[in-house]
Structure 1
Amino acid sequence: MRTIDARGYLHRLGLDDISGPPTTELLFTLHRAHVERISYEGLHAQLGESAGIDPADSVARIAAGRGGYCYHLNGALAALLEHLGYTVTRHQAGVQPRFEDPPGVLGNHMALTVRCENRDWLVDVGLGDGFYEPLPLRAGVYDQGPFSYALAASDVVPGGWRFTHDMRGAFPRMDFAREAAGLDSFAEKHEWLSTSPESAFVRTCAVLRRDAKGTDNLTGCVLKRIDASGETATHLTTEADWYGAIADVFGLDLSGVPADARHRLWQKVHADHQQWQASRTTRR
């Protein structure tokens, strides 16, 4: 595995002064910082960018101000944790996009477990609006802020686990296999998710972030905030407002993307939003 830019990565996380042995406390600190500061985004698929899942490349993108989706974010975090001395296992997993979709290890997600201080933890910074802190790898219901999550044995993956999201989450559940998976086992699905016209990442522009009190979700031109007070939605109707949210709410630096490419992205997102609005009007 190539050497990662651990210093640049930790700087992006706001944790320049990390030192000492791998502890559970540090694991929690890293997880919280990651979901707060590194947004979940598939903008590379919208922009037609090449964004491989080699951990060193993912770390470099993060250090430069971008985010990514699960293969990038969990792949990078796994490499950082190993650099810091943690024992990390990567797992084939499947996020079930909708309740009516079949559950199982669909290969569209990389899950992580970490062994630390004689306990196993589910660690995942690649779920978008997922959990804020690691979950103990044992069956139970776990409340974090205004959200409630559950872990249980998977009923479709022998020996595997099922994470059930809060009912207000962006997806209902995620199953993952018990066995360790190599990075190459995710390459084919990553290629499909990044380039296929049928991929949700190609069809829809979405950016998500989690903090201690709630979640932010930008889907198309609709910016939603979900927290203890409920849900608010704001329609972003101008290019300036949209990119303002990308920078201010989600902390993404797109200065490396050419201005004409950024404008084309906005035009696509705005056109898709108008089409979505028209379809809702027709259904009424």
Structure 2
Amino acid sequence: MLADSMVTAYLDRIAAQRPATADLEGLRGIQSRHLYSVPFENLGYHLGEEIHMDERSVDKVVIERRGGGCYELNPALSHLLTALGYEVSLMPGRVWIKGELTAPLCHLALKVRLEGRAWLVDVGFGRNSRFPLDLGTRDPQTDPHGEYRIVPAADGGSDVSANGALQYRVYDVPCSVADFGPTLWWYRTAPDSPFLQNLFCSLPTDGGRVTLKGDRFTEVVGDERYTRRLLDEAEVREVYGKRFGITLERLPATDVGNGTVRMSFE
């Protein structure tokens, strides 16, 4: 259980109000503020950092003021929610990529039981809904980030789609963070790991999104998209700092082979 001082620091980190009770309104506020404050990023994979799924994931978000992927952000959030009185469990998932599902345990999401209903909470995917999704309805769910649906799959899982496009499949089965260890090892070592082949940092904004992939910065504002190549390391550091709140002692190593995005300043 997180110490109360860390709970306060976590809420300050995401500029969220401490809910008076563990209710749906508080959960919605926390998920929304988390998405808009903590980047979806994989810098640690290219900085040679350890990837932690235990309470050290909270330290990364709160103390180091960094982001991460689903294996870090959702476990970190689970510790916060549990300390605030929410009933939280992990949901293993598989990601839809080009019409195919990845292997089991390639995604980690959260289920929060609240007032007799179950809610899908996810701040570690990159195309998340802004608010929790009701796991108990098959009807479309309108969200500021689009129209989401959760429908049963033949293998017992539930497919999550956004605006008609399949995102991932989750399973309501008991699991622990230790179950994701082998897949994390694969993500960190396999030549075709998407986390090694790409270098990214992304945050939603009011009406859009900002993303830095390697040395290419993209800002989406409404229906407009602007992309530019950053000129040097100083400009990369400036974008990480000003747009994502990340200060780096050194830039990620991107020339690691296996198709990884490369920063080549001329």
Q: TM-score, normalised by structure 2?
A: 0.87
The root-mean-square deviation of aligned C-alpha atoms, in Å, is 2.6
1 CA distance for matches of 2:220 and 2:143? 13
Summarize deviations over 1:61-109 as a string: whole Å, max 9, x none: 111211111011000111111111111120111122x214x22662111
Find the residue that maps to 1:112 and give its secondary structure.
strand
Report the structure, 1 or 2, having the larger helix content. Answer: 1
Given residue 21 of structure 1, which amino acid in structure 2 is its aligned partner?
T
Find the residue that maps to 2:123 and give its secondary structure.
coil
Q: Map 1:1-284 to 2 at 5 A.
A: 5-15=6-16, 18-54=18-54, 56-64=55-63, 65-96=65-96, 98-100=97-99, 102-103=100-101, 106-137=104-135, 138-145=137-144, 147-155=146-154, 157-158=155-156, 160-166=157-163, 172-254=166-248, 257=249, 261-262=250-251, 265=253, 272=262
How many pairs were matched up?
A: 259
Given residue 253 of structure 2, which amino acid in structure 1 is its aligned partner?
L
Given residue 11 of structure 1, which amino acid in structure 2 is its aligned partner?
D
Q: Kindly indicate whether structure 1 or structure 2 has the higher relative contact order, using CA contacts under 8 Å at least 6 residues apart.
A: 1
Summarize deviations over 1:156-195 as a string: whole Å, max 9, x none: x31x21111347x8xx420011212111101111122123
**CA distance 1:270–1:86, change in 2 (3 Å):** closer
Instruction: Using the TM superposition, give the Cα deviation of residue 145 of structure 1 relative to its aligned residue in structure 2, in angstroms.
Output: 3.1
**CA distance 1:90–1:146, change in 2 (3 Å):** closer
Q: TM-score, normalised by structure 1?
A: 0.82
2 CA distance for matches of 1:165 and 1:208? 18
Instruction: Using the TM superposition, give the Cα deviation of residue 273 of structure 1 relative to its aligned residue in structure 2, in angstroms.
Output: 5.2
2 CA distance for matches of 1:128 and 1:39? 9
Q: Residue 39 of structure 1 contacts residue 209 of structure 1 at CA under 8 Å; is this kept in 2?
A: yes
Q: Residue 2 of structure 2 contacts residue 79 of structure 2 at CA under 8 Å; is this kept in 1?
A: no
1 CA distance for matches of 2:190 and 2:103? 20
Q: Residue 105 of structure 1 contacts residue 177 of structure 1 at CA under 8 Å; is this kept in 2?
A: no
2 CA distance for matches of 1:182 and 1:270? 31
Q: Residue 221 of structure 1 contacts residue 270 of structure 1 at CA under 8 Å; is this kept in 2?
A: no
Instruction: Using the TM superposition, give the Cα deviation of residue 196 of structure 1 relative to its aligned residue in structure 2, in angstroms.
Output: 2.9
Can you give the 5+ residue segments of structure 2 that lack an aligned partner in the other structure?
A: none
